[in-house]
Structures are given as structure tokens and as C-alpha cells.
Chains A and B, each alone.
Chain A
């Protein structure tokens, strides 16, 4: 039983650190509150959709910025989507980069856009790792017979 308690504490601390470091924001809490016995994997499901969507968007962005003549409206459209989905799951740092990214699109600033693309890829992979770690912890707790700490 001790093991479960340890894991639960680890999870609580981990989530707190993610909030503290700005990886996640309040919206993530909202998602957790929507999870219940009838849909115990809700957060994992939504976040998985976010991962898929993000990979797609990052690909599209890379392609769009590789063009000889960059269509900034198209780039902006993708960033807008990325901003929206990251905001919806509480991926705060990704969202912030998207905001800066959109400003560069508006200015039609290629360098700025390329820089932001790198940044957003970076932030996305960071938050992805963090969330996967979080889900792993949760799985361990459940597997050990524990329940997830209330948020």
C-alpha cells in the first residue's frame, strides 16, 4: 500500500510542477474534472487527439514554410488551429509560442516564423513527454490498485 501512496504523491507533485513551470494551465484541470467512472480515459483520449492533430499541423507548417513563396495565410491558419487545440487542453507554453507565431505571420516575417516553428516543435515535444510521463504514473497507480488523486 505504501507503494501506491508514494506513487500518488509523486503524481500530485509532478502535476503541480507542470503547472508551476507553465507547461499546463487551468484548462487541463477542467479536462480532469470531466473525467469520471463512465469515461475514465477521457483525458488520455483528448490528449491523444491533440498529439495526432499536432503532428499533422507541425508537418503542414514545415511544408508551408519550405515553399519558395510562402503563403502566410495558410501558415497562420495552421498556427491558429494549433493555438486553439493547445489552449483547449491547457498546453500553455505551446499556446504562447503560437501567439508569437501568429504575430510573425501577420508581419510576413519568414525568419520569425521559422524561429517560432522550431520553438513550437520544442515546446510541443516537451509537453508531450511530460504528459506521457504523467499518464504512465497514473497507469502505475491504477495497476497497483490505487485510485487517482482528486484534482
Chain B
């Protein structure tokens, strides 16, 4: 199966290096306003044999995709297909959530899996993103194991076409979220009304998120990141 070959050929540690016969190395569009994080995510992706385009804002991401309001083109600037979009949540201007929505509203690009990254484990935020169609939600700081997991989404998309494996993951994650509802998640001390977060909300005003509280280890996102207390 082409998928299998692709996996083997992408393990550059085996000495294959850049796979010569893989015309479609996954192309990831990474969006993050932090220069440090952009450099890291770029490296993480490159090491995982992805082509990377890294931009510093949701605006630029939309421009790259050709979705900017002013432009009506439906092809990305240099014609490169985008296989995955990974975006930071908290960004000035357009948040990752707003970017996600714009992408899902686009008939051309809504099929592209979108992954959200955030340093804050806010269940309401995670739920909202998943509901809006995000494939996954990764806690920062991002690790190699997180990126390796992402490859699976792209592989599945490439290998199985329309099969919505992302949906299965979402369900799993949501079930785990339900299990957590009995525990005091980070946001339990703040009623939902304190996190209005309308689309135009400044991402900086996280009014009531005590991000210093370590999350329950069972949290669907945390369990994937075993280290680091906040």
C-alpha cells in the first residue's frame, strides 16, 4: 500500500534520506506568532519528513491559502497542496480558533485537517475547537511525539481518502472529556460565562484561566503529554 511505503521512506534515520519516489511529502502549514515556536515546530515537522511553510499570523495563513477576503483564488500561492494546518490558539489579531472557522467555512479547504496548539489546557477551549472541526488539540510545548501522532492523520487522509478517521479521534477525545467532567478541570472555577470569547476577542485576555494549575493526568490532551507541570 502506498501508505506503507511512504512511512518507510520517510524514516530518514534508516538512511533513505529524502525519499526520491515520494512525490507527495506531506506539506504542513504552521501558524504561530512566536518566532521561537515557529522555529521549533518547523524543525519538528522537517524531522518528521514534512515540507513546512511557517507563517506568523492567521491572516498570512489565509493569504497563503488564497482565502484572504480580497482574493478569490482558491489555490495557495505557490500551488502547493496543504495536507495539514497546525496553528497556535493564542495569537494577536486572528486567533487559531478564528482561523479554524475560516478554513472550515471554505469549501476548498475544509477537508484539510487542522490541529490547534495551546499552552493552556482549557477544556471549554478544546471542546470548542473540536466542535468546530479541529482534528486535534496539542498542548504546548510541542514534542516530537506529538508531531509523530500528527503524521497519522495525514497518512490516513492520504491513504484512505474520504474516510473520516479524524472523527473517530474526536469521539475518543470527547468521551475522555466526559470522564473528566467529574474532576475539577482548570475551568471549573470559572463559569462558562466568564469565558465569553467572542470571535473578536483579544486572545490575550484570558480573564480567569489559572494556567498554573496542573491539569488532571487523565485529561485527554494531558495523557498524551506525560511531562511538565505547568
Interface centre among B40, B90, B141, B207, by most chain A C-beta atoms within 10 angstroms, is B141
Q: How many residues of A contact B (CB 8 A)?
A: 33
Residues of chain B whose beta carbon lies under 8 Å from any beta carbon of chain A: 34-37, 39-40, 43-44, 47, 90, 92, 119, 140-144, 202, 204-208, 210-212, 227-228, 230
Cβ of B47 and Cβ of A34 under 8 Å apart?
yes
Q: Is the interface of B mostly helix, strand, loop or mixed?
A: loop
Shortest Cβ distance from B146 into A: residue: A30
Q: Is the interface of A mostly helix, strand, loop or mixed?
A: helix
Shortest Cβ distance from A26 into B: residue: B227
In the assembly, what is the distance between CA of A57 and CA of B205, in Å?
18
Residues from chain A with a CB closer than 8 A to the CB of B90 are 80
Residues of chain A whose beta carbon lies under 8 Å from any beta carbon of chain B: 25-27, 30-31, 33-34, 36, 39, 42, 45-46, 49-50, 53, 73-74, 76-77, 80-81, 83-85, 87-90, 99-100, 102-103, 106
Cβ of B204 and Cβ of A45 under 8 Å apart?
no
Shortest Cβ distance from A50 into B: residue: B36
Cβ of A88 and Cβ of B140 under 8 Å apart?
yes
Cβ of B210 and Cβ of A46 under 8 Å apart?
no
List 4 tightest A-B contacts by C-beta distance, closest first: A77-B204, A99-B212, A85-B36, A26-B227
Cβ of A25 and Cβ of B228 under 8 Å apart?
yes
Residues from chain A with a CB closer than 8 A to the CB of B227 are 25-27
Cβ of B228 and Cβ of A81 under 8 Å apart?
no
Contact of B119 among A25, A46, A87 (CB under 8 A): A87
In the assembly, what is the distance between CA of A61 and CA of B211, in Å?
20
Cβ of A99 and Cβ of B43 under 8 Å apart?
no
Contact of A33 among B92, B140, B144, B230 (CB under 8 A): B144
In the assembly, what is the distance between CA of A87 and CA of B119, in Å?
9
Contact of B141 among A36, A45, A49, A87 (CB under 8 A): A87
Residues from chain B with a CB closer than 8 A to the CB of A39 are 43
Shortest Cβ distance from B38 into chain A, in angstroms? 9
In the assembly, what is the distance between CA of A100 and CA of B212, in Å?
8
Shortest Cβ distance from A28 into B: residue: B141
